[in-house]
């Protein structure tokens, strides 16, 4: 059974909120990355979105956690 971390919980809540806005047409998602670096035990989540028709102006949400963050949760 997978035990979600604070990183996973924050990512799911924020991602759901942005995708809800995308479905209603209030924003347009441009790009999304969900990366895991096994060598350093780091997670990085990025989502880029903009207002419809204004791709030259976009918002980038960046969430990052490293081994120290994960170890702090486990103690």
Number of Cβ within 10 Å of residue 56's Cβ equals 6
Averaged over successive runs of 10 residues, the pLDDT of the chain (75 residues) comes to 81 96 96 95 96 88 93 83
pLDDT of amino acid 2? 59
pLDDT of amino acid 20? 98
Q: pTM, whole model, 2 decimals?
A: 0.83
pLDDT of amino acid 40? 92
pLDDT of amino acid 1? 44
């Amino acid at each position: 059974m997978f035990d979600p971390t604070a990183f996973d919980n924050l990512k799911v809540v924020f991602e759901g909120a942005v995708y809800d806005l995308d479905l209603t047409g209030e924003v347009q998602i441009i790009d999304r990355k969900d990366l895991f670096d096994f060598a350093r035990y780091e997670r990085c989540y990025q989502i880029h979105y903009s207002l419809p028709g204004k791709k030259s102006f976009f918002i980038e949400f960046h969430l990052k956690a490293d081994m120290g963050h994960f170890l702090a949760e486990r103690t």
